[in-house]
Amino acid sequence: MKIKNRSELNFGILIWIVNLLYLFLTVKIKVRSEGVSSRTIPYILCLILGVLGAVQIFKGLNMESKIIKKNESVDKKTVLKVSLLILGYILIFEYIGFLLSTINFLFFMFLILSPENQKINKKRYLFISSIISLSVYIFFKYSLDIMLPEGILGGI
């Protein structure tokens, strides 16, 4: 029995979704000239993506799926924690300032990414994150004349 190749099919659908979104935004571009305009290349790209999506969907519908058991397990919990931490860091970066946000970010990143078989040394992590953050801040401010956000510590 033929089993549809789900991942290939889903990828084809994804291509079409991206394409439709781009096409929708392209139609909205206000052009000033007739014929070749700022919409021309985007339309060509839509055409290419449309064809690619069709090829991929056709491939997905006609290809037997290979059942491959993956040995590697992905630690989704850690991935989620890291992603949220990165997002949080970027959001507070400007408001709280580089120094405080980076010390916190590095400290929690070390904690989250620490291998299970290793003993967590919080004092060491805090020391490394503080030293790194402070060194980067001083180096950028005084050696390169590049101001990093000072945030709530402004002026210190």
Contacts with another protein, residue ranges (CB under 8 A):
11, 15, 18, 22, 25, 29-33, 35-38, 40-42, 45, 48-49, 52, 55-56, 59, 64, 72, 74-75, 78-79, 81-83, 86-87, 89-90, 93-94, 98, 102, 105-106, 109-110, 112-118, 128, 132-133, 136, 140, 144-149
Q: Minimum CB separation from another protein for residue 79, in Å?
A: 5
Q: Which is nearer to another protein, 146 or 156 (CB)?
A: 146
Rounded to whole angstroms, the Cα distance separating 113 from 79 reads 9
What element of type H or E holds 142?
A: none
The count of other CB atoms within 10 Å of the CB of residue 137 is 19
Q: Which is nearer to another protein, 87 or 152 (CB)?
A: 87
* 3-state class (DSSP) for residue 64: strand
Q: Which is nearer to another protein, 116 or 155 (CB)?
A: 116
Q: Which is nearer to another protein, 87 or 155 (CB)?
A: 87
Q: Minimum CB separation from another protein for residue 93, in Å?
A: 6
Q: Which is nearer to another protein, 86 or 152 (CB)?
A: 86
Query: Which one-letter DSSP state was computed for residue 155?
Result: T
Q: Where are the alpha helices (DSSP H) in the chain?
A: 6-27, 40-62, 76-96, 98-113, 122-138
Rounded to whole angstroms, the Cα distance separating 139 from 142 reads 6
Rounded to whole angstroms, the Cα distance separating 153 from 92 reads 13
Residue corresponding to tokens 């490394």: 128
Q: Minimum CB separation from another protein for residue 89, in Å?
A: 8
Residue type for position 27? V
Q: Minimum CB separation from another protein for residue 156, in Å?
A: 19
Q: Minimum CB separation from another protein for residue 42, in Å?
A: 6
